[in-house]
Amino acid sequence: MSMKTILIPATRGETTRPALETALLLARRFDSYMEGFALRWSFSAFAGIEAAGVVPVEAFQREDEEEEKRARELFEGFMQSQGVPRGDGSKGALSYGWIENAPEGDSFAGSLGRVFDVIVMARPEATASGLHHRAIESALFESGRPLLLAPPKAPGEIATNVLVHWNSSTEQARATALALPLLERAERVTVLTVIGGNAVPGPSAEQMIRYLRRNGVKAEPMTVELEGKTTGEAVLKAADKTGSNLLIKGAYTQSRLRQVVFGGPTRHIIENANLPVLLAH
């Protein structure tokens, strides 16, 4: 198993560069092919605006074309500055490509992601557009593939010291299984249990550790108390304590609506993690 193909939905925003840096760290480990495309608004959403006589759709289209041009320049300029050759991935070597005139709308990230090993996007900042947030949801819920969220500052290396947050859930089991190519190459793997945290009935951390060891992963246990923190806060504190440079997290064990309204571990980690987080639902 490996992660030979990486999809990178790009914008011209400041967060795209750390996403590219994080994707390249991953790509260098597997000699991967990285393919980028520009996230684009769906203009059907603006039909009512034009009908109301406020702003013509043509103005949005011109701005969108300029945004796509800048996203491509950022993506290709970064790859060239890092010495990554253009290619199509057929030779199994480190390379990159770009999809010109990608379909509009956030759902393209999830649909195209089905034929890639992993999707890499930037962690959403407070100023992130609704398009960025919805593309993350599309990648998580529609692709069937893992989503790697890059922190605001890319780490020096990735997946050498990995923290797995085990909460016994189906989502976490899926995330861990999808992360096996990384776990098999890691120098250190820690399986974290948060006592009193948001867990569901299911296999214990010890059982997960046995599973990993049977797959050649030398995993070790770690247990922490909440100590007045939320589960998400406890997980990120453990990641910081262990010096981890990758967190494996099952996404939305609780319902997505509940976490949007009341908060939850996934939402907290998505919004606050300062290390790369590999998510799967």
d(CA 75, CA 186): 28
Q: Residue 56: what pLDDT? A: 63
Distances (CA, A) of 90 to 24, 32, 86, 118, 236: 18, 10, 11, 17, 38
Domains of the chain plus CATH, in order, are 5-150 (3.40.50.620), 161-280 (3.40.50.620)
Give 10-residue mean pLDDT values along the chain (281 residues): 92 87 98 96 57 60 83 96 96 95 91 98 78 91 97 96 97 97 98 95 97 98 96 98 98 59 76 97 92
d(CA 148, CA 170): 18
Taking the alpha carbons at both ends of the chain, their separation in whole angstroms is 20
pLDDT, tens only, 253-273: 755 544 443 358 999 999 999
Q: Residue 15: what pLDDT? A: 81
What pTM was computed for the model? 0.91
22: burial class by Cβ within 10 Å (0-12, 13-18, 19+)? buried
Is beta strand 147-150 parallel, antiparallel or unpaired with respect to 277-280?
antiparallel
Q: Residue 214: what pLDDT? A: 98
Contact 125, 156 (CB under 8 A): no
Structure token pair of residue 189: 């793997």
Amino acid (one-letter) located at 279: L
- Note the residue count of the chain: 281
Q: 3-state SS string over the chain?
A: CCCCEEEEEECCCCCHHHHHHHHHHHHHHHCCEEEEEECCCCHHHHHHHHHCCCCCHHHHHHHHHHHHHHHHHHHHHHHHHCCCCECCCCCCCCEEEEECCCCCCCHHHHHHHHHCCEEEEECCCCCCCHHHHHHHHHHHHHCCCCEEEECCCCCCCCCCEEEEECCCCHHHHHHHHHCHHHHCCCCEEEEEEEECCCCCCCCCHHHHHHHHHHCCCCEEEEEEECCCCCHHHHHHHHHHHHCCCEEEEECCCCCHHHHHHHCCHHHHHHHHCCCCEEEEC
pLDDT, tens only, 176-212: 999 999 999 999 999 999 999 989 999 999 999 999 9
Q: Residue 53: what pLDDT? A: 54
d(CA 80, CA 83): 5
Question: Rounded to 5 degrees, what are φ and ψ at 37?
Answer: -155, 160
Residue carrying structure tokens 């930037």:
122
Structure token pair of residue 51: 């009908």
Q: Residue 125: what pLDDT? A: 75
Nearest Cα residue to 165 out of 237, 229, 216: 237
